Amino acid sequence: MSEEFDQQFILSQQQCEFLAKTFHKFDPDENGVIELEDLAKVTQEILGNEIRSSELQAIRLKGEGCATEGYITFGDFTKIMREHMSSTTRWGGLKSKLQAFVGFDSIQDQLKEKALKRGFEFNLMVVGESGLGKSTMINTLFRGTVSRQSCIQHPEPLPPTVKINSVCHVIEEKSVNLKLSITDTPGFGDQINNLKSWEPILEYVNKQFEAYLNEEVSINRKKYIPDTRIHCCMYFIPPTGHCLRPLDIEFMKKLDKHVNIVPVIAKSDTLTIEERHAFKQRIRDDITHHKIRIYPSGYETDEEDEMVANAAIDKFLPFAIIGSDQLHQVNGKKILARKTKWGVIEVENPAHCEFVNLRNMLIKSRMLDLKETTDKVHYENYRRQRLHGPRDISDALSQPDN
């Protein structure tokens, strides 16, 4: 620990006394040392339930680093605790007690008000071959016509390469404004030779990082940098019932270090329950075999509740979805569904497909986390490589070992 830190981070008398009192519970003979084995117990007694297991692990490692013959002195113990305290607000019993109400709990309202005033941005990219239901799914997700029409309904000649277009909308729900940008990639995988279909998409993703970086490092920085970085890429797997195709593997492997990929099985109403189950399992095996990083299971988290939630989401991946922007009458209610000759497939019925699980993850529970992961993992990676590494970042980042 640096000397500067030693001088700056000073414990109050109350904190010192509390640390000493708890330490001595594990040092009854007052030798001024505790056993390394007891470090976790002392820490837990001081910090209570607030401590995370990853932090406890880090404290234990620090203890191992400074222990002599399996014992830790009080001096080293306070240093370890100070280090913990400097990096978090989870101080447990070391927190100062307030004599009276101060009112800073209103910070929650202040944050909410500020965020609501500015609104939220969410940039979603959809990738998959033509006709897999990408536009329909976007409309299903956001309950409106927010996507461009299919080029199947309005036949256009196939674009020569993957052309990327972004459409921006502002949608409002209970006075929350969401600036939603949908990036579509028509033509992906539709060529005779699809070897480099992923390339323009990677370029597009990196271009948004570059624009953000330029704003960040510019001398006259904007107060609020517009965020066009892709927060989530929904990858549509065709419902072949076989396994991932080389094109799918290639795309996900090339992009997974740059963007959060959420794979979905498109048009899963075309598969029987058994086929869907077996297909899903094969895709999961392929993802594991090719070490493809998908969201959220491919991202580590310290938060225990998030780990549990991730495991719950993980068992649905890739989501077998069905999309529809048409409302149909079912049991007297108008619902999003697909009407076929043999019955009605309800999009929002968990017994029919996993659309609700996908929507809950994308919109209800993980929208902010997707943005944070983009910023803290993917953009950070780009930024680091760009500021240290070669100018041609696309080349550097698409190398297999990056």
Residues that bind ligand GTP (CB under 6 A): 130-136, 150-152, 186, 267, 269-270, 322-323, 338
Task: Work out whether 135 is an interface residue with Mg ion (CB under 5 A).
Answer: yes
Task: Work out whether 150 is an interface residue with Mg ion (CB under 5 A).
Answer: yes
Is 234 exposed, middle or buried (CB count within 10 Å of its CB: 0-12, 13-18, 19+)? buried
- Report what 267 binds from Mg ion, ligand GTP, none; CB cut-off 5-8 Å by kind: ligand GTP
Count of chain residues binding Mg ion (CB under 5 A): 3
Q: H-helix or E-strand containing 383?
A: helix 380-388
Q: In the bound complex, what is the minimum distance in angstroms from residue 44's beta carbon to ligand GTP?
A: 50
What are the E-state strand segments in 119-204?
120-127, 165-173, 176-184
Dist. CA 316–CA 69, nearest whole Å: 49
- Report what 152 binds from ligand GTP, Mg ion, none; CB cut-off 5-8 Å by kind: ligand GTP
In degrees, to the nearest 5, what angle opens at C-alpha 201 toward C-alphas 197 and 202? Answer: 105
For ligand GTP, the closer CB: 239 or 296:
239
For Mg ion, the closer CB: 185 or 194:
185
For ligand GTP, the closer CB: 31 or 272:
272
Q: In the bound complex, what is the minimum distance in angstroms from residue 135's beta carbon to ligand GTP?
A: 3
Q: Which stretch binds Mg ion (CB under 5 A): 28-36, 102-110, 148-156, 354-362?
A: 148-156
For ligand GTP, the closer CB: 200 or 389:
200
Dist. CA 238–CA 243, nearest whole Å: 10
Burial of 179-215, coded b for 16+ CB within 10 Å and e otherwise, reads bbbbbbbbbbbbeeebeebbebbbebbbebbbebbee
By beta carbon distance, the residue nearest ligand GTP is 150
Report CA 190 to chain centroid distance, whole Å. 29
Dist. CA 15–CA 96, nearest whole Å: 9
With beta carbons less than 8 A apart as the criterion, state whether 232 and 295 touch.
yes
For ligand GTP, the closer CB: 129 or 369:
129
For ligand GTP, the closer CB: 132 or 141:
132
Residues that bind Mg ion (CB under 5 A): 134-135, 150
